[in-house]
Chain A
């Protein structure tokens, strides 16, 4: 038996729901499973908890095997020490807040349950509401009861299934802070399922991008958004500037590689395994696109300049979201954003002619796929 600490998940099945998910979550780590609706995130979570039986796979926690289909091991959910917070909280409506928390304490003597339950409710800032039923609690309070109930089991793994989806924005911000605080007190793997990339980036140490039941990439949120493994991952993590091109020259000695992007040369850092003439997919995150000042030359203007006209300008808060149609290939729009005051100072408006630089350090080259450049 392995002595590895933390959670290791490896699931595979072709039907009824296709699954090919592999990831690890160390003790004290918060690992986000990110993907659109129907990507199999919740199914993976339920397979860890044991409420869904995957046809093939392994789930191990701190060396303890919860599921090993090859060895014929499949612990029922009530024998897996798991704390689960459901999207709808799934509180027991006929029990009080304290009753809900105590319901998960079957493993400790009855005489200790009430005091422990009160301690947990205090931990989630619900003192004084012990005797309220779920129907008499707000969404945020219900979520806290659900967290306290999940911890009452003294779990080896904490599973959070879109726990912030059903509360308003201000409550969500407060709950984010509370979960971040709580994490420091817990030394266990925490798996968070979310479709909200910002939420995952804010809370998670590492994340796995899931699509149609397949885990496409694991890594830190920054690593995945900066270096998506494929065009599919790039689209899923909202990197909108994904294009196809081909290598026109490669100079590894000077770490300089030139991409022929529909006639426009784009210089980027070199990447092993590529040769001149290879077809590639490349991406550039929003933050690496620099708008040139229109009144005077800017620094870095020589770096991959792309001229074009602004097709759309959408202001959200203090940010202007721009779409640029490049002059050399108007069918391949570039999306980027600038602070609103920058847009105003440069008199950026729809149809305005502008030039942007695509910073070489932000250009990420991926394996070629046919789906790139679809936007």
Chain B
């Protein structure tokens, strides 16, 4: 069992959802509540990671974040270390490839709140931020939870993009999915099987807990 890889994966997944939580809520609510020119293009861009092969997506990230790109160069000169093949670069890639998993369920959850319930909050004297906190977030909560669980599970399991952007540096970019692949390549099936079973258990428990929680909220809301 590669505990370092597991810890790195859990850290990566936790930081990803921590950053994606506000991003997903703001972007999801914006897409749900506003009609604007180019909304279709914006939604297509958000959904792109769902359909693009991970290696293709990883390749483009490598090109965009690489030391020779403007972003990579700026990062290197500002922070003194490259973006690619580092944990920070991996986190950035993880945030980008999880955007559809975070934004889409939250967008659907906000869309499901009836327009007159939003208007009722305003007519009750609630400023937009109060309406968001007291009415919209409690109602959109199951969607937000689903988004976070999907992003967490997806980060733990992502392979292609991680390999392209991060490689397999122990303690820096070697996630548990990469470690499993390494163990299989080294014919260490026992370790691979142990780690796979562990990942399976984590995924199953998280998904089951989410479903149970969503059902409970659903019953509460009638």
Contacts and interface: CB of A to CB of B under 8 A. Distances in A.
Interface stretch (B46-54, B71-79, B80-88, B119-127): B119-127
A82 B114 CA distance: 20
B126 A49 contact: no
Interface stretch (B130-138, B155-163, B202-210): B130-138
Nearest to B221: A93
Nearest to B123: A84
Given A51-B119, A93-B139, A78 B222 contact: no
Contacts of B116: 86-88, 90
B117 interface: yes
B220 interface: yes
Interface residues of B, number: 22
A317 B200 CA distance: 70
Contact of A94 (B119, B126, B139): B139
A35 interface: no
Interface string A52-95: 00000000000000000000000011100111101110111110
B135 A92 contact: yes
A93 B140 CA distance: 12
Contacts of B125: 78, 81, 104, 106-107, 153
A106 B122 contact: no
Contacts, number: 82
Given A90-B117, A93-B222, A133-B222, A103 B124 contact: yes
B10 to A, nearest CB: 32
Contact of A136 (B117, B122, B134, B222): B222
Contacts of B126: 78, 103, 106
A107 B138 CA distance: 22
- For chain A, give the interface size range: 20 to 34
B135 A50 contact: no
Interface string A142-178: 0000000110110000000000000000000000000
A136 B125 CA distance: 25
A87 B120 CA distance: 11
A135 interface: yes
Interface centre among A84, A90, A152, by most chain B C-beta atoms within 10 angstroms, is A90
Contact of B119 (A81, A90, A103, A134): A90
B124 A76 contact: no
B221 A77 contact: no
Interface string A198-242: 000000000000000000000000000000000000000000000
A358 B69 CA distance: 90
A293 interface: no
Interface string B100-123: 000000000000001011011111
Interface in A270-288: none
A46 interface: yes
B42 to A, nearest CB: 23
Nearest to B126: A78
Nearest to B122: A77
A135 B127 contact: no
A134 B124 CA distance: 17
A82 B222 CA distance: 28
Contacts of B121: 92, 103
A150 B120 CA distance: 9
Given A77-B122, A86-B119, A106 B222 contact: no
B178 to A, nearest CB: 42
Given A93-B222, A133-B222, A149 B124 contact: yes
B138 A51 contact: no
Given A78-B123, A94-B220, 20 more contacts: A49-B122, A51-B119, A78-B130, A86-B119, A88-B116, A90-B114, A91-B120, A92-B117, A92-B135, A103-B126, A104-B124, A104-B125, A106-B124, A106-B125, A106-B130, A107-B125, A133-B220, A134-B222, A150-B123, A153-B123
23 contacts: A49-B119, A76-B122, A77-B119, A78-B124, A78-B125, A78-B127, A86-B116, A86-B119, A86-B120, A88-B116, A90-B119, A91-B120, A92-B134, A92-B135, A92-B139, A93-B222, A103-B134, A104-B125, A106-B125, A106-B130, A135-B222, A152-B124, A153-B124
Closest 6 CB pairs of A and B: A135-B222, A104-B124, A77-B122, A90-B120, A90-B116, A84-B123
Interface of B: 114, 116-117, 119-128, 130-131, 134-135, 138-139, 220-222
